[in-house]
Structure 1
């Protein structure tokens, strides 16, 4: 946006500022000069309006350090000024760091800067009144300040356009991102838009006076929003609840939710119907899932133990992770860069997909140079394009060509549906091997380790490929084939057959590969070396006990047999071995005396 339009936006923002605030600003032109200095900065797109009050920050810097800083050509892009006792002063810019003076910082330099700012709070932060700058101190063991980080605070008008449509929905939004990516800056403008443009009652919980600036009078950048200060950082959760109970807000703004009590308070606020806009440290939702303190913001994660039948139906382990409750925040925004944000419009669906090892649909929004919002959708399973011609040959010509008519596609679709829903798998005539030609197999959801073990142990003519376009056949667990539409899409778009395996176990994978290669299944005992390969001595002993019980008692006499008590992991191996003989087994008793019982066919 040109400078003239930017000035209009700034003028509109100032109209809403109460006269008492304007009177407190010594020179109102200073705000405009700050904008003009930043409108065309490379750090911000041209259409954004930025105010920084940089002159007031430079006042606290000792004169010997301030002079080279005032003459620096990239002054308007500075992020931080670092003053550490006994070290050279530093200026930090978006892409690099520079030393400002050859002489190290002295205690007199630090005392000069400390005298110019307000009192340091419990979190070792101070500010400059009526500005957004943040001064953070580093103390020694005696409590004396030996280092300062002077962070430049800027009010940026225009960033909220990236998610304005989401803000207007009234749903709670969580902003994620590394320090310095612009979370607090975004919160500040969201508060102004909610209060001034959407006319909502907005309360900001300002723990470190970072959102609305230092002093009792909040910075004009937050518009008509009200600010509640927090005496000590550990009391933030109490002030959050107090804001809801005393001031009837329609929206609450919170920066840096970091403790379990604050996460619990946030859930309480969201459940009362108040729109919640907050930030948390973490680049992605996965970071919150692994953080037990903040996991409740996205619903919480709990371990659930499934029954034997349910675990077999899902094709998973008996203990799985699931979301515990509805998420506190409906929408999550991952701020990868200052103007490059990933949007998760349904946090619950995103978390559920991640727990199941899938990647859900995401939305990437970036801010163009002209102020337009560029949106890119990334879908987990895009709709495949219909093939331009049905006559397609697989690698080395081993796949039989399909006739060039629509009936072939319909026939393949019928066979595919039958393969996924029935146990005996067809495709006779679609997969043909000539002589010793190997089959190129693409595994989807099947254990590569177990596949390699079976192929190498039985010396099967199978080559595992990572590119589905090089595959002759797709092998996937039966539950994936039935429940995951992506399997059908991949098979139909490439016209390759799908074979399913009942479970990710050695016996099931062995049986599936034998059937795929048109090999005789043979006797179960023939695969005994494969089933015991790489096992520990106690595991081999338990498997041998189960094998002898099946071959010498259950099959010949038709009588059930109970085995000795074993740990859960070993019992699982015995279950798999019994299933290899196509018999049924169940576990009985309580730990540590829980044992396997094998039933005749």
Structure 2
């Protein structure tokens, strides 16, 4: 129903699966015993094992020391021997799960620390932006680390793949999980793994040239080569759904490396007459090109987003000092979706 500038939808059921036992099985027995005593598996975020320090478990509401005994090399080796191969980014996984194990190494490249992060497939999160991603427009997801960008991206791939040809460019196996067979959470989407992070841009182009996708899903666009590849893909008429480092649209706009994703910035010198007409100085900032992504979604919390439906218009307004308020969408405690239009 509609209530003025707010729309309220029916409630949505959120389902979470985590394969937590698969992660617990690779941990040393003393750590496993401590975790079982604490319980609270649904609140567990990650286990931290650093050589010569006490092991810790991080939960949504804080950290807990698991044992009084300091972590030794045998315990680190116990984990390393039971997981997949570490890539150039020092990340490994457990086959057909979404768990991620990240290593800290010393100068001799020996593992001296491990962060074992619980990976969860969350079903139902896409409803907050489903109409946007199904419109065919390219969508950029922003937000702080851990807010749920990759989780939402994974479900976008699954939902779109029911109707379109979707290819995921999965640089660190963050979206589809470890191993050659991807996690069921991506549905019918195809997944291309990336040999090393520096080749992500090349695999993005390869995906378009070799596999005829209608949509490409990409996590963590982070440098100018990847931004250029994204523009090339968009110019070929392929829908892009991706994430980038940054919390808000203006963060991206002021980042020289990533600004091209939203059109970029250039300095323009106006004539005296035009400057008077606009009421500005003669040198002004203007958008350089059409945005690669037509829509930007800022994920503020797991159940709350701000949406810029027309990135070109939003960027132009920002550069003129008159920002347009975004549309706010949020899910309340009962699961009902609210949309507040500016």
The 5 Å alignment of 1:126-275 reads 126-196=92-162, 199-275=163-239
SS at match of 1:214: coil
Residue 359 (1) aligns with residue 317 (2): no
Residue 54 (1) aligns with residue 27 (2): no
Which 4+ stretches in 1 moved above 6 angstroms?
A: none
Gaps of 5+ in 1: 1-44, 379-601
The 5 Å alignment of 1:18-29 reads none
SS at match of 2:161: helix
Between Structure 1 and Structure 2, the one with more helix by share is 1
Deviation at 1:169, TM superposition (A): 0.4
Match of 1:120 among 83, 86, 97: 86
Aligned counterpart, 1:8 = none
Contact 1:47 1:369 in 2 (8 A): no
Going from structure 1 to structure 2, the CA distance change for 1:96 and 1:166 (only over 3 Å counts) comes to same
Aligned counterpart, 2:3 = none
Higher Cα Rg, which structure = 1
SS at match of 1:71: helix
Count of aligned residue pairs for this structure pair: 332
Aligned counterpart, 1:317 = 281
SS at match of 1:304: strand
CA distance in 1, matches of 2:12, 2:286: 45
Aligned counterpart, 1:329 = 293
Match of 1:105 among 55, 60, 71: 71
CA distance in 1, matches of 2:278, 2:332: 45
Residue 278 (1) aligns with residue 242 (2): yes
Contact 2:216 2:240 in 1 (8 A): yes
The 5 Å alignment of 1:459-538 reads none
Deviation at 1:156, TM superposition (A): 0.5
The 5 Å alignment of 1:26-45 reads none
Deviation at 1:302, TM superposition (A): 1.0
Deviation at 1:46, TM superposition (A): 8.4
TM-score by length of 2: 0.94
Residue 64 (1) aligns with residue 64 (2): no
Contact 2:12 2:127 in 1 (8 A): no
Gaps of 5+ in 2: 1-10
Contact 1:47 1:370 in 2 (8 A): no
Residue 79 (1) aligns with residue 45 (2): yes
Deviation at 1:104, TM superposition (A): 1.8
Deviation at 1:170, TM superposition (A): 0.4
TM-score by length of 1: 0.54
Deviation at 1:142, TM superposition (A): 1.7
Comparing both chains, which one has the higher relative contact order based on Cα–Cα distances under 8 Å and sequence gaps of 6 or more? 2
CA distance in 2, matches of 1:46, 1:95: 25
CA distance in 2, matches of 1:102, 1:335: 38
CA distance in 2, matches of 1:46, 1:320: 46
Aligned counterpart, 1:508 = none
SS at match of 1:335: strand
SS at match of 1:359: coil
CA distance in 1, matches of 2:250, 2:231: 19
Match of 1:304 among 268, 278, 290: 268
The 5 Å alignment of 1:587-598 reads none
Residue 371 (1) aligns with residue 335 (2): yes
Contact 1:305 1:319 in 2 (8 A): yes
SS at match of 1:55: helix
CA distance in 1, matches of 2:92, 2:272: 59
CA distance in 1, matches of 2:65, 2:307: 38
CA distance in 1, matches of 2:41, 2:92: 22
Deviation at 1:71, TM superposition (A): 2.3
Deviation at 1:230, TM superposition (A): 0.4
CA distance in 1, matches of 2:98, 2:267: 44
Aligned counterpart, 1:93 = 59
Contact 2:268 2:283 in 1 (8 A): yes
CA distance in 1, matches of 2:122, 2:235: 31
Deviation at 1:140, TM superposition (A): 1.4
Contact 1:213 1:219 in 2 (8 A): yes
**CA deviation profile, 1:376-426 (whole Å, cap 9, x unmatched):** 122xxxxxxxxxxxxxxxxxxxxxxxxxxxxxxxxxxxxxxxxxxxxxxxx
**CA deviation profile, 1:5-48 (whole Å, cap 9, x unmatched):** xxxxxxxxxxxxxxxxxxxxxxxxxxxxxxxxxxxxxxxx9821
Contact 2:305 2:328 in 1 (8 A): yes
SS at match of 1:192: helix
SS at match of 2:307: strand
CA distance in 2, matches of 1:80, 1:371: 27
CA distance in 2, matches of 1:66, 1:162: 37
Going from structure 1 to structure 2, the CA distance change for 1:46 and 1:87 (only over 3 Å counts) comes to farther
CA distance in 2, matches of 1:377, 1:93: 35
